[in-house]
Amino acid sequence: MAFQFGKQPSGKARPSYLYAIIGVALVLFMLGLLGVIVINAKKLSDFFKENIEVSIILMNDCSAEQALKIKAKLDEHHWVKSSEFITKDVALERFRKQSGEDFMELLDYNPLYASVNFHLKSESANMDSIHQIESLFQGNKLVKEIYYQKQVVEMMNQNAKKISLVLLAIIFVLFLIAVALIDNTIKLVMYSNRFLIKSMQMVGATRWFIARPFIMRAVLNGLISGVLAVALLSSLGVYANNIIPELSSLAEPASLTGLLLLVIMIGIVISGLSTYRSVNKYLKLKLDDLY
């Protein structure tokens, strides 16, 4: 019996392959989406950590020159990402923009203090680093206080490790689910070809001769599914960046490219292996067992 790769025994088999391609593509899309979240999770965590602002509130008798010396002293330390000197006038202007109020209409002086505001590097955005800063300026007569959102810093560092562990667990579980879903989808497709497989075996075709066209078709379908999943992920990424432009700063082109290639490879490998297993299964069954 001649069997040509790419041709199906009946019109009913073609929709099965189409459904399989779409089904596998959706599973790969969900898997890839989770991968994108995991890749960006650390950068997102770093982004929030580096946006925690710490303010060194200065005394009223602290001159601009003295404030700049404090800023320069801060910048000498590796754990400081950026710093800026905020004068009383700048602090007043920021307060007006944020609150929409102007207390200068009631007061004849500016009650706000000048400050040196800075952001820590993500790996140093913890209580230990902030305590070092506090001890660095402890006893300095030019410094009134050091202000930061203590609860936010503590909560962010406590939850970072927990979130990482939870994400790893979710990845593992969803990967197993994805493999099972793809495997079952392929099995359903191969079920419609079980009589063809058995017929080829009965006329003397070798195991590899029977399996090869199905595996090649599965590899092609897996490739198509992977490309569809990558296209969906890319489209979603472009749409998300248009809505939230800040997301583009989190992107890691090398990691994302590797992930997209991995999604395609997963689709190809699992489709091929599942098809090979299904063909072997029907080759081992007796003809009566196929009904």
Q: What is the pLDDT of residue 181?
A: 78
Q: How many residues does the chain have?
A: 291
Enumerate the β-bridge partners of residue 56.
116, 146
Residue 228's nearest CA partner among 236, 217, 238 is 236
Separation CA 57–CA 77 (nearest Å): 19
pTM of the model: 0.59
Distance CA 119, CA 129 (A): 11
Angle at 228 between CA 225 and CA 231, to 5 degrees: 150
pLDDT in tens, 124-174: 777 777 787 778 777 788 888 888 877 777 777 667 677 777 877 887 887
Query: How many CB atoms within 10 Å of residue 286?
Result: 7
Q: What is the pLDDT of residue 232?
A: 92
DSSP code of residue 59: P
Report whether pLDDT(1) > 70. no
Domain boundaries in the chain?
A: 13-47+166-290, 53-148
> Is 39 in contact with 183 (CB distance < 8 Å)?
no
CA distance linking residue 148 with residue 119, whole number of Å? 11
Of 101-105, 176-180, 267-271, the range with the lowest mean pLDDT is: 101-105
Element (H, E) at 115: strand 115-120
Confidence of residue 229 (pLDDT cuts 50, 70, 90): very high
Query: What values do phi and psi take at 33, rounded to 5?
Result: -65, -40
Residue tagged 């779409």 (tokens): 22
- Domain 53-148, what fold? Alpha-Beta Plaits (3.30.70)
Averaged pLDDT score across all residues of the chain: 79
CA distances from 186 to 83, 196, 197, 215 (A): 57, 16, 15, 11
Give the C-alpha distances (Å, rounded to integers) separating 70 from 64, 67, 113, 119, 259: 10, 5, 15, 15, 45
Provide the token pair at 73.
């002293």
List the 80-86 sheet strands across, edge first: 80-86, 115-120, 53-58, 143-147
Please tell me the predicted confidence (pLDDT) of residue 10: 46
The CA distance from 156 to 135, in Å, is 22
Specify the pLDDT at position 3.
41
